[in-house]
């Protein structure tokens, strides 16, 4: 009996080895490689001063990025222009390393005349795309540092009646270049009913003014129900009504981050008090990779296509100019239109190839 048992086990094991190739370990291989390389994420925060942007960022990532910041008085704030300040911090959690870059925009929306105050943000996003395009077109493509902006948290004041003209202009200027996630700041200054009304009003205005905010990916039919429910909750929560706090408070024997008022205590991470947990889970746990994918596949690809189109046009115009200067005899009538079109397209292709070649050499 024991011999039969041994023989049966060997046969089964052999059959398994024949049927099992081993590509099921591919996710483990990818996981090891990506963890070793580390991850990057760049987030830009925009909105007027005093809406709790810095506090929220520190709360989201449990770090203090603004410990050396100088608080300006009213006179200094009036005279200040929009600045771009970059904070980079390395975070490690359970062996996974993340290089987090926060782009702050102090001075945005603080002036008396804020016409085109979003221009600095727009230029910064374009500069990162341009730098990545140059690096990608160069010879040393292996060590490209990705500084492209993956997400923009746009803070909306809770004290107005929906979106201000500056909010509309800024989001419309940026929505084709970056994933915009609107945030209703300082939600503890509003009652739950007011929060609900403001969210509806802001969503209506976003649709009315044709602003394309970040769209959560559609769930596949085979996704589990919990995931589908969570995605629907996220969609319904836009804009996220948030509260930020770096202070530990104690109430009823519990310690938590929050704010103490004469009429009660606000808990930052309590879903009944704010959407802080929803926002953090969305940004970090569930949609960080999708934000990066949309940046790469849509926003950067649109920029890249536009660059190549412009360069091709420049090359063709330059070639035509040289023909004219050299008194090149252009035909008055085209005998074979299709043949002429093919020759023209081939000329464009050759021209563009030589232009890219010289562009790469000049950039390196």
pLDDT, position 148: 92
pLDDT, position 302: 92
Beta bridge partners of 103: 44, 86
- Rounded-to-integer distance, Cα 49 and Cα 51, Å: 6
Q: Are 59 and 244 in contact (CB under 8 A)?
A: yes
- Rounded-to-integer distance, Cα 45 and Cα 154, Å: 6
The token pair at 151 is 């997400």
Residue with tokens 């996710």: 27
Query: Tens digit of pLDDT per residue, the chain (364 long)?
Result: 444 444 444 445 555 566 767 777 877 877 777 777 778 889 998 887 777 777 787 777 766 655 555 554 555 454 455 678 888 888 787 778 888 888 888 767 666 566 777 888 899 999 999 999 988 887 777 778 888 999 999 999 888 788 888 889 999 999 999 999 999 988 888 888 898 999 999 999 999 999 999 988 887 766 777 777 888 888 888 899 888 777 777 777 777 777 777 777 777 777 778 888 888 888 888 888 899 999 999 999 999 998 888 888 887 777 777 776 665 555 544 445 666 666 666 666 666 556 655 554 454 4
Backbone φ, ψ for residue 267 (5° rounding): -100, 125
Residue 273 burial class via C-beta count within 10 angstroms: exposed 0-12, middle 13-18, buried 19 and up: buried
Q: What is the CATH number of domain 26-309?
A: 3.40.50.300
Strand, helix or coil for residue 180: strand
pLDDT, position 339: 67
> Domain spans of the chain?
26-309
pLDDT, position 150: 93
- Rounded-to-integer distance, Cα 348 and Cα 346, Å: 5
Strands 39-46 and 96-104: parallel
Q: Which of 206, 273, 270, 203 is nearest to 238 (CA)?
A: 203
* Secondary structure (H, E, C), 208-256: HCCCCCCCCCCCCCCCCHHHHHHHHHHHHHCCEECCCCCCEEEECCEEE
- Rounded-to-integer distance, Cα 364 and Cα 360, Å: 6
pLDDT, position 300: 93
Q: Are 158 and 184 in contact (CB under 8 A)?
A: yes
Beta bridge partners of 86: 103
Q: Cite the DSSP H helix spans in 138-191.
A: 165-174
Beta bridge partners of 45: 104, 153
pLDDT, position 334: 47
pLDDT, position 228: 78
Global confidence as pTM: 0.74
């Amino acid at each position: 009996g024991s011999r039969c048992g041994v023989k049966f086990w060997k046969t089964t094991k052999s059959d398994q080895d024949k049927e099992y190739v081993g590509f099921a370990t591919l996710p483990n291989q990818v996981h090891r490689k990506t963890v070793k390389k580390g991850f990057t994420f760049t987030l830009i925060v925009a909105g007027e001063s005093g809406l709790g942007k810095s506090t929220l960022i520190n709360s989201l990532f449990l770090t203090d990025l603004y410990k050396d910041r100088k608080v300006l008085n009213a006179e200094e704030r009036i005279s200040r222009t929009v600045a771009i300040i970059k904070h980079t911090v390395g975070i490690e959690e359970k062996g996974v390393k993340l290089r987090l870059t926060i782009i702050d925009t102090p001075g945005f929306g603080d002036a008396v005349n804020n016409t085109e105050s979003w221009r600095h943000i727009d230029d910064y996003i374009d500069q990162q795309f341009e730098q990545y395009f140059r690096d990608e077109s160069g010879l040393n493509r292996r060590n490209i540092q990705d500084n492209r902006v993956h997400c923009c948290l746009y803070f909306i004041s809770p004290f107005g009646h929906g979106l201000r003209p500056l909010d509309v202009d800024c989001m419309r200027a940026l929505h084709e270049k970056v994933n915009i996630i609107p945030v209703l700041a300082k939600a503890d200054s509003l009652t739950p009913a007011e929060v609900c009304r403001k969210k509806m009003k802001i969503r209506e205005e976003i649709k009315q003014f044709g602003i394309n905010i970040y769209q959560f990916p559609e769930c596949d039919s085979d996704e589990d129900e919990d995931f589908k429910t969570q995605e629907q909750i996220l969609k319904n929560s836009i804009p996220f009504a948030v509260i930020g706090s770096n202070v530990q408070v104690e109430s009823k024997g519990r310690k938590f981050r929050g704010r103490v008022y004469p009429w009660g205590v606000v808990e930052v991470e309590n879903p009944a008090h704010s959407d802080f947990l929803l926002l953090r889970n969305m940004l970090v746990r569930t949609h960080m990779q999708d934000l990066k994918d949309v940046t790469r596949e849509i926003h950067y690809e649109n920029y890249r296509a536009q660059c190549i189109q412009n360069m091709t046009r420049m090359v063709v115009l330059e070639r035509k100019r040289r023909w004219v200067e050299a008194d090149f005899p252009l035909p008055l009538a085209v005998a074979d239109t299709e043949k002429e079109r093919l020759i023209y397209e081939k000329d464009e292709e050759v021209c563009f190839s030589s232009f890219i070649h010289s562009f790469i050499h000049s950039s390196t």
